[in-house]
A = this chain, B = another copy of it.
Amino acid sequence: MFQKKKMHSELPPIRQTAEEFTVVDGEDYLDEIFENDKRISRSFSHFQLDDEEYKENYGRVISDLLATGEHKFFVALDRYGRYLGHVWVCLKVDTVDFVPSAYIYDIETLSPGIGIGSALLERAEGWAEEMRAKKVCLRVELDNPARKWYSEKGYSERAVIMEKRL
């Protein structure tokens, strides 16, 4: 453990290494994937949650999502094998179109703007095609700049999520 830490401290910071990334199967990196996602996802909530509540509810969301469909993960790594980002995609029957569809549950990168997100998305779409999905779909918050990014990638808007506070 000490050795590993020492070695890592001698490596250049990932902002210097991220540009030469590779994308590989992510199943061996689930701990890092969910650790990063858990940290980032909290900022999207419109509610104030204490740490314990968030931890419990986050776990519930993940286990609910994992309960149905066929799942695939990809990660982007730098040349030292360090985590740079991931995509989580799930094959399910679409609830409106009733055809096999690939849902992008999550796509994140520690180094935006250098093509990691695009590479992860392409890889997820490739997997979806192999799995004979008829479409790829995802949810984007109304105020999220990613809406424009997905539009540039060929995605179009299909439905809205509406809600009312109680």
Enumerate chain B residues within 8 angstroms of A141, measured Cβ to Cβ: 96, 158-159
User: Is B161 within 8 A of A161, CB to CB?
Assistant: yes
A156 on the interface (CB 8 Å rule)? Answer: yes
Tell me how far the C-beta of A45 lies from the nearest C-beta in chain B, rounded to whole angstroms. Answer: 5
Enumerate chain B residues within 8 angstroms of A155, measured Cβ to Cβ: 162-164
What 0/1 pattern do residues 138 to 162 of A give for CB contact below 8 A with B?
1111100001001101111111111
Enumerate chain B residues within 8 angstroms of A136, measured Cβ to Cβ: 163-164, 166
A128 on the interface (CB 8 Å rule)? Answer: yes
Of the stretches A16-24, A46-54, A110-118, the one at the interface is: A46-54
A67 on the interface (CB 8 Å rule)? Answer: yes
Please tell me how many copies of the chain the complex holds: 2
A134 on the interface (CB 8 Å rule)? Answer: yes
User: Is B159 within 8 A of A139, CB to CB?
Assistant: yes
Enumerate chain B residues within 8 angstroms of A138, measured Cβ to Cβ: 161-163
User: Is B135 within 8 A of A96, CB to CB?
Assistant: no
| Of B42, B67, B139, the contact of A160 (CB 8 Å cutoff) | B139
Enumerate chain B residues within 8 angstroms of A125, measured Cβ to Cβ: 164, 166
User: Is A162 within 8 A of B135, CB to CB?
Assistant: no
Cα distance, A68 to B115, chains bound together (Å)? 35
Of the stretches A3-11, A55-63, A75-83, the one at the interface is: A55-63
Cα distance, A158 to B153, chains bound together (Å)? 22
